[in-house]
């Protein structure tokens, strides 16, 4: 039965998501316009633009938490990353490792299945090498993609957004936040990207509610992004 509490909680969560999406679109449009002004040499500025966009994302998350959530950002983040005194760190790291392996397996299985079925058009064609710095500056890419992005996205989707859906049950909150998380990573509407991101979001949501902390989610997310960076560097 749908209650007023459920409607209000969904409204608050959707409003926050729309604000983040709108801010992200504006940010991407501005940075894209800046790249076009550069002209033929624009490709070499893409890694730098990527770093700027991740910082912009983190700022947007902070603004939404403060403005819409009316929360003290530092206190909110500290409360969310803390682990309970009874939490077993070895158990948590087991879940982190398991979540990381499972999410990578699902994504790989989807790509393999598509190739076996002759549906190559479903396989993502993103060239990650274009968004990663070469040489010593790769440290900036690692900081932005494997630290800033996981922290800001997990704080928003797994923590802030889930709490905004307070009128729903835990399972509904996990599924709904995973769906929104997947849509935010839809890119060019690539089916495998959306599907695998939804599964990853579901895993992260389960881990978040298991430990009532966003820390293991950040570690899983960071591990995924760092692995992508390492593979990209090795293959190029």
Tens-place pLDDT, residues 186-231: 876 678 889 999 999 999 999 999 999 999 999 999 999 999 999 8
Start-to-end C-alpha separation, the chain: 54
Distances (CA, A) of 159 to 9, 77, 236: 14, 9, 36
The string of pLDDT tens digits covering residues 4-14 is 666 776 888 88
DSSP state, residue 157:
I
pTM score, whole prediction? 0.91
Our separate counts of H helices and E strands in the chain read 10, 0
Query: Which among 61, 93, 89 has a CA at the least distance from the CA of 77?
Result: 61
């Amino acid at each position: 039965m749908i209650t007023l509490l459920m409607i209000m909680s969904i409204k608050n969560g959707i409003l926050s998501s729309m604000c983040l999406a709108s801010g992200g679109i504006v940010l991407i449009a501005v940075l894209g316009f800046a790249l076009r002004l550069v002209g033929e040499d624009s490709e070499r500025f893409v890694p730098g633009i990527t770093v700027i966009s991740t910082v912009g994302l983190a700022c947007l998350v902070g603004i939404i938490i403060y403005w819409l959530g009316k929360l003290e950002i530092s206190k909110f983040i500290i409360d969310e990353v803390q682990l309970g005194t009874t939490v077993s760190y070895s158990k948590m790291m087991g879940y982190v490792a398991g979540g990381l392996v499972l999410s990578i397996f699902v994504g790989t299985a989807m790509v393999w299945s598509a190739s076996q079925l002759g549906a190559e058009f479903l396989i993502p064609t993103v060239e990650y090498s274009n968004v990663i710095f070469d040489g010593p500056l790769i440290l900036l890419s690692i900081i932005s993609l494997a630290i800033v992005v996981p922290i800001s996205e997990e704080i928003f989707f797994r923590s802030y957004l889930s709490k905004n859906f307070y009128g729903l049950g835990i399972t509904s909150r996990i599924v709904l936040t995973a769906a929104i998380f997947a849509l935010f990573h839809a890119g060019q509407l690539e089916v495998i990207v959306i599907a695998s991101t939804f599964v990853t979001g579901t895993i992260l949501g389960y881990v978040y509610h298991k430990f009532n902390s966003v820390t293991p989610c950040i570690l899983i997310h960071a591990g995924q992004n760092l692995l992508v960076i390492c593979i990209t560097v090795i293959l190029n």
